[in-house]
Amino acid sequence: MSPRQKPVKSPPPLPKTATKPQFSENAITVLERRYLKKNSSGKAVEDPRDMLWRVAWTIAEGEKVFDPEADIKKIATDFYEMMARLEFLPNSPTLMNAGRELGQLSACFVLPIEDSMESIFEAVKQTALIHKSGGGTGFSFSRIRPRNDLVHSTSGISSGPLSFMSVFDCATETIKQGGTRRGANMAILRVDHPDILDFITVKADLSKLHNFNLSVALTDEFMTALKNDDEYDLVNPRDREVVKRLKAREVFSQIVRQAWLSGEPGIVFIDRINADNPTPEVGEIESTNPCGEQPLLPHESCNLGSVNLAKMYQDGKVDYERLGRVVTRAVHFLDNVVDINNYPLPEIEEQTKANRKIGLGVMGFADLLMLLGIPYSSQKARDLAVELMEFVDQTALKASVELGRKRGAFPNFARSIYADNPALPVRNATRTTIAPTGTISILAGCSSGVEPIFALAFLRRVMDDDELFEVNPIFEKVARENNFYSRSLIREIAHNGSCMGIEEIPEKFRLYFESAHDITPHDHIEIQAAFQKHTDNAVSKTINFSHDATVEQVEKAYLSAYERGCKGVTIYRDGCRENQVLNIGKTDSKQPAATPEKPIKRDRPRALTGRTYQMTTGCGPLYITINDDDQGLPFELFNTIGKAGGCAASQSEAIGRLVSLAWRSGLNPEPIVKQLIGISCHKPAGFGENRVTSCADAIAQAIRNHIEASNGRNQALHSENNNAFGACPECGGVVEHEGGCMVCHTCGYSECA
């Protein structure tokens, strides 16, 4: 029986000679907000040293399963040291929950969904339990019969997989309201499912599936049909009958266009993923975790961790001896997690322990390149990526085999691809994964995963409109050492999002201080493909596009990813979600700009006609009246909430006056909706499609409803701002799109965690 973490035992005192954690001030703020143990008053009752020692000791106690006489203190000290030196950090649930009552340490889960009401709602229940424990879930909805298909048991018709996705979305929203970590989901549908066209465009509607990432599972058959400009079969999963044929080119074009508009859906190459399935006799892989890097069997989970490559730099080169030592120790750490984890469901514990998958990845790759003076977009960077990941992968395999000799191979070894070589008793069916490291990279003070740095500098506005510049520490060090650092330079970089073209910076430094804005989609894909060559699972990476990128360029990137051996692709076109707040190019209010034609405020006629909408908010009923001009365009907005007076009423009135002023000055309604939709307050109301997150959100929804009622469906409102986000909902800081997720590097908030 594996050691459980109930009741929780406090570890012995931390050795006095232990290294003091090297956390930055910003990292400590994130730790205090999210990770440190707190009392009933919300006050932290441990410091960062206590947290790391709690985690290290708890994981080290997994040794007792195999060796009751093991020196737990020595093993725990080794684990502590690599975390305190920021050489390695496990995924957030392990840092948060190890040694605490919850004890759930995994981030990634995949649940099965069969074509029955019983299976669907059992999965809903299991999803709620996983989200309650802090995990994210992935699903394939491909087994559910299509919309309008026959249901023999009731002589009725099926509502299709999309309708059931809404049920999962609503359940996730409810769990979020309970005050736990935000739940995240991945929904995958095979490209040969009859409802695929509806799935591709479902999130064009702002009100749909806020708690899901979407990916289309592309098959080799589909890719062949695409290459040959041919048709392919749509297959009913109920009876495997072909119900229709579609042109692969038309379906692919729809995927590409929707991704260009909103960043979704992503794509996964499902047959390629299954070609690398280490246990094909155990089951077929149908889905991944929410960010796409961890393909899993149904009821399987995986615990992740990342090595900080920025710490592997020594004397102008990569310190492979140190890297090998950290990778070996990290594999040991993650294997122990499998045994001491407190799983949310017995089915998950059984499947996870049968395969013992771990996901060791890297972070800080962009930092390492800058330290080495290598441009991210260069062939040298790609060669280094292959070299590094091959070393990590081979070292992890060797460490897993050594553990297997001591502890035994994973139980499904005889049903795995390793069965033909019993002399190598692999302990873990998979070892390596490149995950997004949004929050733990903040703690480690390094760049996220294998992404480029988003910006060398950006501006964060604080109280009284003060300006606080966040500057990449490697760039700042180099700039100061070479005497070209100045506040005006940082302001210019923050405004441009890049150091390219700034003459004050010597050219040799400009070349290797590339940011995401300087790197082409081709270069992004080349790096992803380079890391994928020696990664057991998949690589989570965002392919960034400029705002003016074309649909054809997105298509080219998708095809290139397939040709280069990637297992999936997530793209993001800058600004395609109107409320993306990066404070780049918008940082200096004093920056000169072209003078636009001065807007003219129109006078109000004596009489106007319109509609009044009642919206239910957390502050009570909100009545919103929208009047149109003689052209049928919105002209003014009034609103009333509850009784006269009060903060909610005054704020709503202020919004109404500003909206009216904007309309009378000629502004279209779409930007107003995009600025207001999704703003959150402490009193949300409703569920699913009726969800209202604030009075501002209610006004935006009323405007949208008014436009639809007046002019029919306004596609721009639903296509260009899928899942409108805005600033970080917790601290108002900078939000970055990386690894298929939105992350705040100020407070550690993550859309997917």
Q: What is the 3-state secondary structure (H, E, C) of 457-487?
A: EEEEECHHHCEEEEECHHHHHHHHHCCCCCH
Residue 38 DSSP class: B
Q: Which domain holds residue 469?
A: 455-514+579-607
Is residue 595 included in any domain, yes or no?
yes
The amino acid sitting at 492 is E
The pLDDT of residue 475 is above 60: yes
Same domain, 586 and 678: no
The pLDDT of residue 123 is above 50: yes
The runs of H, that is alpha helices, within 276-374 are: 320-340, 346-355, 365-372
Is residue 504 included in any domain, yes or no?
yes
The amino acid sitting at 11 is P
- Identify the sign of the CA torsion 624, 628, 634, 636: negative
The pLDDT of residue 2 is above 60: no
The pLDDT of residue 68 is above 80: yes
Q: What share of the chain is helix, strand, coil (3-state, %, to 5)?
A: 40, 15, 40
Contact 557, 569 (CB under 8 A): yes
Is residue 632 included in any domain, yes or no?
yes
SS (H, E, C) 620-632: EEEEEEEEECCCC
Contact 377, 514 (CB under 8 A): yes
The pLDDT of residue 599 is above 70: no
With left for phi above 0 and alpha for psi between -120 and 50, is residue 575 left, alpha or beta?
A: left
Return the pLDDT at 735.
Answer: 67
Name the residue among 596, 555, 95, 531 with its Cα closest to residue 309.
531
Structure tokens at 705: 């409803």
Residues in the chain: 753
Is residue 655 included in any domain, yes or no?
yes
Structure tokens at 209: 């599936």
Same domain, 598 and 615: no
Structure tokens at 97: 């929950």
Is residue 706 included in any domain, yes or no?
yes
pLDDT higher at 168 or 459: 168
Return the pLDDT at 375.
Answer: 96
User: How many other CB atoms sit within 10 Å of the CB of residue 169?
Assistant: 22
Same domain, 599 and 473: yes
Same domain, 465 and 603: yes
The pLDDT of residue 714 is above 50: no
Mean pLDDT for the chain? 87
The amino acid sitting at 440 is I
pLDDT, mean of residues 489-517 = 88
- Enumerate helices (H) and strands (E) in the chain, giving the number of each: 24, 25
Q: Which residues contact 444 (CB under 8 A, 6 or more apart)?
A: 27, 86, 89, 306, 308, 310, 363, 364, 437
d(CA 4, CA 349): 12
pLDDT, mean of residues 673-695 = 79
Q: Output Rg (C-alpha) for the chain, integer angstroms.
A: 26
Contact 270, 562 (CB under 8 A): no
Please report which confidence band the pLDDT of residue 651 belongs to, taking 50, 70 and 90 as the band edges: confident
Q: What is the pLDDT of residues 277-322, one digit of tens each?
A: 999 999 999 999 999 999 999 999 999 999 999 999 999 999 999 9
pLDDT, mean of residues 623-637 = 89
User: How many other CB atoms sit within 10 Å of the CB of residue 346?
Assistant: 9
The amino acid sitting at 139 is F
Chain position carrying tokens 């008014």: 706
Contact 471, 487 (CB under 8 A): no
Q: Are strands 108-110 and 136-140 parallel, antiparallel or unpaired?
A: parallel
Q: What is the pLDDT of residues 520-548, one digit of tens each?
A: 999 999 999 999 999 999 999 989 898 88
d(CA 645, CA 601): 28
Return the pLDDT at 726.
Answer: 45
Same domain, 598 and 701: no
Same domain, 615 and 592: no
d(CA 394, CA 371): 25
Same domain, 508 and 479: yes
The model's pTM: 0.81
Same domain, 602 and 614: no
What distances in angstroms separate CA 747 from CA 20, 731, 735, one per listed residue?
22, 7, 10
The pLDDT of residue 732 is above 60: no
Return the pLDDT at 686.
Answer: 79
Angle, vertex CA 190, rays to CA 185 and CA 196, nearest 5: 95
Contact 738, 438 (CB under 8 A): yes
- Catalytic residue numbers read 289, 291, 293
Contact 649, 642 (CB under 8 A): yes
Helices 365-372 and 473-481 pack at an angle, to 10 degrees, of 10
Q: Which residues contact 218 (CB under 8 A, 6 or more apart)?
A: 191, 267, 268, 269, 270, 562
Same domain, 601 and 499: yes
The amino acid sitting at 735 is V
Please report which confidence band the pLDDT of residue 753 belongs to, taking 50, 70 and 90 as the band edges: low
**Half-sphere exposure (CA, 13 Å, Cβ side) for 476?**
11
What distances in angstroms separate CA 551 from CA 254, 266, 387, one per listed residue?
10, 14, 34
Instruction: Give the range among 1-5, 280-284, 370-374, 621-625 with minimum mean pLDDT.
Output: 1-5
Return the pLDDT at 665.
Answer: 85
Name the residue among 111, 116, 109, 110 with its Cα closest to residue 237.
116
Return the pLDDT at 299.
Answer: 97
Contact 10, 76 (CB under 8 A): no
Residue 725 backbone phi and psi in degrees, to 5:
-115, -50
Instruction: Give the range among 248-252, 346-350, 614-618 with minimum mean pLDDT.
Output: 614-618
Chain position carrying tokens 């409102």: 717
Is residue 583 included in any domain, yes or no?
yes
The amino acid sitting at 14 is L
Is residue 599 included in any domain, yes or no?
yes
Structure tokens at 343: 């799983």
- Identify the sign of the CA torsion 162, 166, 171, 173: positive
Same domain, 589 and 488: yes
Domain count, the chain: 2
% pLDDT > 70, the chain: 87
The pLDDT of residue 721 is above 50: no
Return the pLDDT at 739.
Answer: 65
CA distance from start to end of the chain: 30
- Identify the sign of the CA torsion 186, 191, 195, 200: positive
Q: What is the pLDDT of residues 172-203, one digit of tens each?
A: 888 764 444 566 899 999 999 999 999 999 98
pLDDT, mean of residues 481-492 = 91
Quick one: 633 exposed, middle or buried, by C-beta within 10 A (0-12, 13-18, 19+)?
A: middle
Instruction: Give the range among 300-314, 342-356, 556-570, 648-662 with minimum mean pLDDT.
Output: 648-662
Instruction: Give the range among 11-15, 400-404, 670-674 with minimum mean pLDDT.
Output: 670-674
Same domain, 590 and 614: no
Is residue 283 included in any domain, yes or no?
no
Same domain, 677 and 692: yes
Structure tokens at 442: 């903040």
With left for phi above 0 and alpha for psi between -120 and 50, is residue 10 left, alpha or beta?
A: beta
